[in-house]
Amino acid sequence: MLKSPFLRSIYQYMLARHYSRRTIKAYLYWIKGYIVFNSKRHPAEFGESEVEAFLTYLSVKRHVAPGTQSVALNSLVFLYKNIINRPLGDVSQFRRAKREPKLPVVLTTDEVTRLLSQLKGTHWLITALMYGSGLRRVELARLRVKDIDLDHLQIRVWNGKGGKHRVVTLAEELIEPLKFQITHVERLMKEDSLLPDYCGVYMPNALAAKYPSAPFQLGWQYLFPSGRRSFEPGTNTIRRHHIDESGISKFIRSARYKAGISKEISSHTLRHCFATHLLQSGVDIRTVQEQLGHTDVTTTEIYSCPQTRSTGSAKPFKSIVSCGTHNSSA
């Protein structure tokens, strides 16, 4: 619970305007940091020069990444425009964080096979989807049943990075496991609906008011729901949210150790593997760009450089996701 009335008012302002929980949390973190940096004075007392000093401090003293510095700047632009009602002027005179060149860690096809072989049930399906469709962790966690098109082997991704929508391919080997998962989701939905205080799944953009029955329809349920019901943050509303994103990283890291893979990997590594292995199999880079949702093809080109080329068996791309086991246990 926020102790500061000022920060609490910002939280309520953003909540009422349907900002994502992730954005609210990030903005409040940097606004609070900015206020503390300026000796806890009210931000209405200062402006552009203090903002530049704070951003320079983040770069020089905190050594934050360029993306982190950009989020901090966006937070303060939001603060002055929407809360202080005094939009910032020119704030370009600050030390920008340096972007160190990074190359993605890529597993060989055999390493992906070994990783999947250490997983089963829902954990296996989640990992296979991230590798087989190039999904980001948050995109996978937010999938709804209606986003899965088994007839056309497609997944619709809504509000990905930058608020963009896209359609990605779905490996044919995942049809039956996905049907099993949807049956599991339907069973949970029916059990939850019997509870008098249950309010259905969370609906974006106030759609619950427009379609009051939608929170109780199968299509709107999260494809990978949480194992328990909980109160919606800031309310007394009981819902079943989607799985915790941090849990995905944990079981993938555990599978990596069990598989004897020495490379440092995360859930995002599977997205790197998806792109690299597609290019290795001869898929056009523009197609890979569309699958990943990259605005600029130069972002995708990093997967075609020599340093990211992996070696291993020439196993067909889609068949890799058939390795491992899918059953009712996670």
Tell me, yes or no, if 142 is annotated catalytic.
no
- Structural domains in the chain, sorted by start: 5-83 (1.10.150.130), 109-322 (1.10.443.10)
Neighbours of 7 (CB within 10 A): 16
Q: Which of 164, 129, 165 is nearest to 150 (CA)?
A: 129
More confident residue, 70 or 320: 70
Q: Which of 120, 146, 268, 318 is catalytic?
A: 268
Per residue in 262-314, pLDDT tens?
998 989 999 999 988 888 888 888 888 888 888 888 778 777 765 555 544 44
Known active-site residue 62: no
Residues 4-9: what's their mean pLDDT? 92
Give the pLDDT band of residue 252 (cuts 50, 70, 90).
very high
**Tokens 């903005």 sit at which residue?**
27
The contacts of residue 151 (CB under 8 Å, 6+ apart) are none
Residues with Cβ within 8 Å of residue 255, at least 6 apart in sequence: 115, 116, 118, 119, 123, 127
Range of weakest confidence among 62-66, 124-128, 216-220: 62-66
Closest by CA position to 36, among listed 70, 74, 62 = 62
Written as one string, the DSSP assignment of 13-81 is HHHHTT--HHHHHHHHHHHHHHHHHTTT--GGG--HHHHHHHHHHHHHTS---HHHHHHHHHHHHHIII
Which pLDDT tens digit goes with each residue over 65-113? Answer: 888 999 999 999 999 999 999 999 998 888 887 766 667 788 999 999 9
What's the confidence (pLDDT) of residue 328?
Answer: 47
Task: Check if 271 is active-site.
Answer: yes
136 is catalytic: yes
Give percent of the chain with pLDDT exceeding 90.
57
Could you say which of 114, 242, 294, 326 is catalytic? Answer: 294
Catalytic pick among 136, 241, 242, 326: 136
Burial of 245 (0-12, 13-18, 19+ CB in 10 A): middle
CA-based diameter of the chain, in Å?
63
Give the three-class secondary structure for 237.
Answer: coil
pLDDT tens sequence across 166-189: 999 999 999 999 999 999 999 999
Residue-level pLDDT at 261 = 95
Q: What percent of the chain has pLDDT over 70?
A: 90
Active-site residue, from 271, 272, 277, 326: 271
C-alpha closest to that of 93 among 49, 63, 59 = 49
Residue 161 bears catalytic tag? yes
Query: In angstroms, what CA-CA distances link 129 with 74, 80, 170, 262, 306?
Result: 32, 41, 8, 23, 26
More confident residue, 323 or 3: 3
Please give the pLDDT value at position 99: 66
The yes-or-no verdict on residue 244 having pLDDT over 60 is yes
Of the residues 161, 184, 253, 318, which is catalytic? 161
Q: What is the pTM of this model?
A: 0.75
131 is catalytic: no
DSSP for 89-139, written as a single string: -----S-PPP----------HHHHHHHHHT-BHHHHHHHHHHHHH---HHH
Region 57-62: what's the mean pLDDT?
92
